[in-house]
Amino acid sequence: MYHQLYLSPVGNLRIVADDIALRQLWLPNEVEQRQPEAGWIDGKASPIINQVITMLSDYFAGKIVCFTDIPCEPEGSEFQKAVWQQLKNIGYAEIVSYGDIAAAINKPKGAQAVGGAVGANPIAIILPCHRVLGRSGTLTGYSGGLAVKKALLDLEGISYKENRQYSLDY
């Protein structure tokens, strides 16, 4: 496994890939809490990591970026993978709700379970879980913290409502 730190405007990100695909993208809070596994190799020579760095640099420079060209192979359950595939389909500056994703994977009453899968997304930003809001456009939880989610939404010019009660609005 290859890994590389990337300094972004929202903090340090760790990009993790093998020779086939991107496997993980750690948000700043994860970078602070976790260490690369023994045996992981510096990713400067990894074409996948270099592709991710180029696209993230463009993204954070305010360019409209479509991350669908990056091969992604996150590890998870079949349900999680179905949810994460739907994340990959959310376009730049678009938003969907947890219920929209549940309907798309033919689990119309599964919005809360979708919320759990979105929260477990191991490839943040590239599989854009920050673009998933509550059904009325409200901010809900984000594994990287709401400040990071707000920064990413603001970068893309996405409007949202503050959720003052902090209850989940699927």
* Catalytic residue list: 129
Q: How far apart are the C-alpha atoms of 30 and 140, rounded to whole Å? A: 19
Q: Can you tell me the distance from the alpha carbon of 167 to that of 107, in angstroms, rounded to the nearest whole number? A: 22
**What distance in Å separates the CA atoms of residue 147 and residue 86, rounded to the nearest whole number?**
24
Alpha-carbon distance of 49 to 161, in angstroms, equals: 34
Helices 78-88 and 111-119: angle between axes, nearest 10 degrees: 80
Enclosing H/E stretch for 128: none
Could you give the maximum distance between any two Cα atoms of the chain, in Å? 46
**Secondary structure class of 21 (helix, strand, coil):** coil
